[in-house]
């Protein structure tokens, strides 16, 4: 009996130990399997850092730094010059940097005072664990508040509500997003939602997003919204809660200090990893820096590195102040020193706001240029007196352009003119006017002659007297002729 109890107890202990060993082995196997499937993000970042930098292949171009982003770009907003390029056309997931396009379209198609109401679809079509500011169905905020909710709080449901307000439905707004992207020159972009939530068919490239961001940061209102570190929502009749939104962009909050920040937007999904858009302005250059597929916090430190590279190695060159080369032969009146009026000044001149971006070690004489007289509608609207566009390249890299404009009038530089203004007249216009006057005089002279020879008389006696004088005039001419 005692032996039997001992044996049973021993068996129980053995079974317990066996079970514990089995559980431990299974747990270790599961842990090993999980770790085997978990990506090594540090190793992936190191591999990305070793990827080639395409802009370094341009002769005499300042060598750009290595960054751990899969793709990265630095673009100057006003000229479109690409200062740094690494896989800039690769199609990747943008995550919440998508919201830059959402806010751009909202600002273009609605008023700040518009009330944006939250529908059931706007609130519940986004995951509960995603970025939001906790808006409920039926609540309303102004469009201005919505912009801050999207850019500062990265609120997914607010992006959807704005889309419905602007276009009537989320699907219609997504179509508007893709149409706008095409109009800006994007060729590697397709939007599938308003907020950047992970979808296979939702992608863009850093180059395309730089085009979109350049448009965004050309809007002063959007710059102010995108450069807000903290925003206060106060309760209203249509939104009862009071709360604060804190920006996660460390260059905007000042956690990482950098002079000249204009604004930016963060983004993250498991597949996109960290994405970041930032705009900064110094010495007349407004730069957009975009990095895709980074690991935190290097998206911020790499952005600083790229900004330093760009600001330290490039400068803005005003074309009108520095261009001394002879301009194209087919610019009919670029210099009017030899016109029929003598030396009267410039009939055509370069727009004094046109600038290009060059390495600090180079001058405008190191560039090549091409002339185009086929101006776009946007260019004609921006430069009403423009006749041609001069496009500049540096070792085949586009670095900006200048507009060749018709000068209607200019203030003289000679102080002896006493403040008078010299008016420059196109000779072609004078010739056209002169020809028109001659034609008119010819026409009216002919009509007057016919009127004289076909005159009418008020009475018979007037007619007789006119004929008699006419005969006497002819006789007098004949007598004079044969004298």
Active site positions, annotated: 96, 99, 154
**Alpha-carbon span 29 to 300, nearest angstrom:** 38
CB neighbour list of residue 145: distance below 8 Å, 6 or more residues apart: 233
CB neighbour list of residue 123: distance below 8 Å, 6 or more residues apart: 135, 136, 137, 157, 160, 161
**Alpha-carbon span 294 to 48, nearest angstrom:** 9
The pair of structure tokens assigned to 429 is: 């216009």
Task: State residue 233 phi and psi, 5-degree precision.
Answer: -90, 125
180 is an annotated ligand-binding site residue: no
Is residue 118 within 8 Å of residue 146, measured between CB atoms?
Answer: no
| Angstrom distances, CA of residue 105 to CA of 161, 162, 177, 464, 479 | 13, 10, 8, 87, 93
68 secondary structure, DSSP code: S
| Angstrom distances, CA of residue 395 to CA of 314, 364, 436 | 15, 12, 50
The pair of structure tokens assigned to 342 is: 């003598």
Q: Can you say which residues are annotated as belonging to the binding site for substrate?
A: 265
């Amino acid at each position: 009996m005692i032996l039997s109890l001992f044996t049973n107890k021993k068996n129980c202990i053995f079974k317990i130990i066996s079970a514990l060993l089995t559980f431990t082995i299974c747990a270790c196997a599961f842990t090993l399997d999980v770790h085997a499937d978990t990506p090594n993000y540090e190793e992936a970042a190191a591999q990305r850092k070793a990827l080639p930098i395409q802009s370094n292949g341009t002769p005499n171009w300042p060598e750009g730094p290595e960054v751990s982003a899969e793709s990265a770009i630095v673009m100057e907003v006003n000229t479109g010059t690409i200062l740094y390029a690494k896989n800039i056309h690769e199609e990747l997931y943008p995550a919440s940097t998508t919201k830059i396009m959402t806010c751009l379209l909202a600002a273009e198609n609605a008023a700040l005072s518009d009330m944006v109401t939250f529908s059931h679809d706007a609130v519940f079509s986004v995951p509960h664990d995603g970025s939001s500011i906790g808006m409920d169905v039926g609540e309303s905020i102004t469009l201005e508040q919505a912009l801050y909710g999207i850019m500062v709080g990265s609120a997914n449901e607010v992006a959807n509500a704005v889309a419905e307000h602007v276009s009537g439905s989320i699907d219609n707004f997504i179509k508007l997003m893709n149409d706008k992207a095409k109009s800006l020159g994007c060729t590697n972009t397709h939007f599938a939602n308003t907020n950047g939530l992970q979808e296979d068919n939702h992608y863009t490239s850093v180059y395309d997003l730089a085009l979109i961001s350049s448009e965004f940061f050309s809007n002063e209102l959007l710059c102010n919204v995108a450069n807000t570190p903290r925003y206060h929502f106060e309760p209203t009749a249509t939104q009862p809660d009071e709360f604060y939104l804190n920006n996660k962009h460390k260059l905007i909050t000042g956690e990482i200090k950098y002079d000249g920040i204009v604004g930016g937007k963060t983004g993250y999904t498991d597949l996109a990893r960290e994405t970041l858009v930032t705009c900064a302005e110094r010495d007349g250059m407004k730069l957009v820096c975009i990095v895709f597929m980074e690991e935190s916090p290097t998206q911020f430190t790499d952005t600083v590195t790229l900004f330093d590279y760009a600001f330290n190695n490039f400068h803005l060159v005003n074309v009108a102040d520095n261009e001394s080369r002879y301009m194209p032969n087919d610019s009919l009146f670029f210099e009017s020193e030899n016109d029929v009026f003598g030396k009267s000044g410039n009939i055509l001149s370069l727009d004094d706001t046109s600038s290009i971006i060059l390495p600090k070690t180079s001058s405008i004489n190191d560039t090549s240029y091409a002339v185009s007289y086929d101006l776009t509608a946007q260019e004609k609207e921006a430069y009403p007196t423009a006749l041609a566009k001069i496009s500049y390249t540096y070792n085949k890299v586009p670095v900006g352009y200048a507009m060749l404009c018709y000068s209607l009038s200019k203030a003289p530089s000679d102080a002896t003119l006493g403040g008078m203004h010299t008016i420059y007249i196109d000779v072609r216009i004078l010739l056209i006017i002169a020809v028109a006057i001659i034609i008119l005089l010819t026409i009216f002279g002919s009509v007057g002659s016919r009127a004289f020879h076909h005159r009418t008389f008020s009475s018979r006696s007037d007619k007789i007297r006119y004929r008699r004088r006419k005969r006497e005039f002819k006789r007098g001419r004949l007598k004079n002729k044969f004298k």
